[in-house]
Structure 1
Amino acid sequence: MSAIATIPNETFVNLLKDLLLEDYIPSSNAQALIQAEARYIKDLKINVGNAINNTQQLNRKEALLLALAVSVNERFEPLKESFTRLAQQEGATEAEIAEVIAATSLMNTNNVFYRFRHFMNKDSYNNQPAGIKMSLMMNPVLGKEFFELLSLAISAVNGCEMCVSSHEQSVLQHGSSESRVFEAVKTVSIIKGLITVLA
């Protein structure tokens, strides 16, 4: 018997099945929602389904790679594993999965550094070379447009205004659209909210 078979809320169980989380043991946050039969569980399932199945601006593989990036960013291993499997089912390669992890790591580095520069806004900090190696950004296997989109989305999760602005400008220069940017940021925000419940 799987762990989710003991969960009394059918909507929550179906959400976990969609995410390949059959062995998930509910966190205290999840238990609180389940026990109260909270209406939010239905909203969460709909939001997550819309986020990873949006085919208008993002294809399913792209949405799943963005979801994977948030799971890596938030260090939530169960979703990292399930989004890796789901992305692979949509054709994601080992190199693409590895690049999502690397890009997320690089954005964590840059988000802290450039947020500090922005907060301080001093010439003594702004005029020094960053000295952070970023060769990953030169020829990404994900393609430059999607790499920039992913970088923007993770920067939004981490709250770096300078990085969001810079990557938004870059992603548009590489042929993207504001609608696609909007959907990418909405996708990662929904997955961040999902992790708040599950972790």
Structure 2
Amino acid sequence: MSIDALKQTLPDYAKDLKLNLGSVITTSSLTPAQAWGTAVTAAIASRNDVLTRAIVADAAQHLDAAALNAAKAAGAIMGMNNVYYRFVHLAANKEYGKMPAKLRMNIIGNPGVAKVDFELWSLAASAVNGCGMCIDAHEHEVIQKGATKENVQDVVRIAAVIHAVATVLDTEAALSGASQAAAA
């Protein structure tokens, strides 16, 4: 399913999301590869299979194999890091922040794409997953690597819209399942 086909399945109450999904990826300060990689990573972080398939299918027209793999890798590694570092940040006992993570993160050092792109995609996942420590770290890195505040805002706008669409799709699936269960 394409993004355009997916938009047609969104209910009327999500009209703003339908409109935003059609524009945030294509009208931003990001390069097309950065925008589509952000969309892939945000879809993975949002954990909706229908949305992820649609985004990856359309992104494959804009990303080469290495960039698509790196966007998926950003979603994967941030799935781990965002949980770990959110815990470190939120735990009252600050000793955890002084302890080594002892988690493999080799992909961050060699993502197969420009580091600024991988960091932008990691920022998208961190925003979806709500890890303040990771948001700060990745925002700092992308600015240091030449990204603008507009680039950062566009990454977060894409992530926000994709996550909201995932929420609507999950809600509609749950309500559809509840209707079917009640009818049985």
TM-score range, shorter chain: 0.7 to 0.9
Say whether residues 1:58 and 2:43 are aligned partners: no
Residue in 1 aligned with 2:161? 190
> Any idea what the Cα deviations from partners look like across 1:14-72, whole Å, max 9, x if unmatched?
xx8653449x8x5xxx5xx44xxx4x41x222211121211x41133322221221221
Question: Is the counterpart of residue 136 in structure 1 residue 107 in structure 2?
Answer: yes
Farther off after superposition, 165-174 or 134-143: 134-143
Distance 1:113 1:77 in 2: 24
Query: Higher relative contact order at CA 8 Å, sep ≥6: structure 1 or structure 2?
Result: 2
Corresponding residue number in structure 1 for 2:58: 86
After superposition, where does 1:76-115 map in structure 2 within 5 Å? 76-90=48-62, 92-115=63-86
1:147 maps to which of 118, 129, 143: 118
| Percent identical residues | 34
Aligned equivalents of 2:95 and 2:34: distance in 1? 40
The residue correspondences of 1:2-17 to structure 2 (distance < 5 A) are none
CA distance in 2, matches of 1:81, 1:118: 32
Asked whether the 8 Å contact 1:69–1:101 carries over to 2, the reply is yes
Larger radius of gyration: 1
Task: Give the AA of the match of 1:151.
Answer: S
Q: TM-score, normalised by structure 2?
A: 0.82
Q: Is the 8 A contact 1:51 1:187 kept in 2?
A: yes
Question: If the length of structure 1 is used for normalisation, what is the TM-score?
Answer: 0.77
Change (3 A) 1:77 1:123: closer
Structure 1 consecutive aligned stretches of length 4 or more whose deviation exceeds 4 Å: none
The residue type paired with residue 128 of structure 1 is: M
RMSD of equivalent CA atoms: 2.1
Contact (CA 8 Å) 2:120, 2:155: kept in 1 or not?
A: yes
Q: Output the CA distance in 1 between the equivalents of 2:41 and 2:78.
A: 10
Aligned equivalents of 1:193 and 1:75: distance in 2?
11
> Any gaps of 5 or more consecutive residues in structure 1?
1-15
